[in-house]
Amino acid sequence: MRRGRPLKSEAEKAEHSRFQLLQATENLISQGKKVTVRGVCQLAALSTGTFYYHFKDKDDLLGFYLTQSLPKTDNYASVKDLSQAVFLLYLPLLEQYERLGKGVMREFYSGTNQALSKYLGETDGKFIEGTVMAECQSLIDNRKKQNELLKNVDSFQLSSDICIIIKGCVFDWCLSNQASGLEVAAKRILTQFLAIYKN
């Protein structure tokens, strides 16, 4: 009879090591330290090989951390007003950005960061499943079916435009001297922009 703890499956081991890498990233950010592959691996007590099994590079890690590791919420789906629903959908992301601060966001929001377009953009005309853009497109499709939006609205294009607005708000916030204000600006601009699409 086998004693001791049961062996973890390969999938469980992989999930655990990815969690350790994300925790190490969180710790480095909270300590105000620069996020590097070596620093994350040292703090997580994992090899760089394990890191590269999960992530392409540091930007890919940050992209996943900033967008995919957020708690999922569906509190936006039942909100009648589209601009408010879209704002609530993006709110956890905006809160995460403000919490992490401008230092991290300035590093991530750069023109050379390919992970930015991967996690906050489209690939081959599609959004990555589970991203806020994919959820936003689904939300828009549902509102079209309920006759709340103009019929000729292209849900993919509108979701892309919304993402551009959010990125613009983040970029502007990164350039400003204000510690907060990101959420206020995003809500105001989304409300004005989406008003033209209402049926």
- Sorted by where each begins, the domain ranges of the chain are 10-54, 71-197
Coil vs helix vs strand at 198: strand
The conformation of residue 63, written as its DSSP 8-state character, comes to: H
- Write out the H or E segment, with its range, that includes residue 175: helix 155-175
Q: CA–CA separation, 157 vs 166, rounded Å?
A: 14
* Cβ atoms of residues 56 and 113 within 8 Å: no
Residue 10 CA, distance from chain mean position: 27
Q: CA–CA separation, 106 vs 177, rounded Å?
A: 13
For the chain, give the longest Cα–Cα distance: 69
Q: CA–CA separation, 188 vs 22, rounded Å?
A: 32
Q: CA–CA separation, 87 vs 70, rounded Å?
A: 15
pTM (2 d.p.): 0.79
pLDDT, tens digit (0-9, with 9 covering 90-100), for 92-132 = 989 988 888 888 888 777 777 777 776 677 777 788 887 88
Which residues neighbour 97 within 8 Å (Cβ) at sequence distance 6 or greater? 66, 105, 170, 173, 182
- Domain covering 10-54 assigned CATH 1.10.10 in the classification: yes
Q: CA–CA separation, 160 vs 153, rounded Å?
A: 12
Which of 17-21, 26-30, 183-187 shows the lowest per-residue confidence on average (mean pLDDT)? 26-30
Mean pLDDT of 39-60: 93
pLDDT, tens digit (0-9, with 9 covering 90-100), for 126-182 = 888 878 889 999 999 999 999 888 889 999 999 999 999 999 999 999 888 877 789
- Amino acid in position 5: R
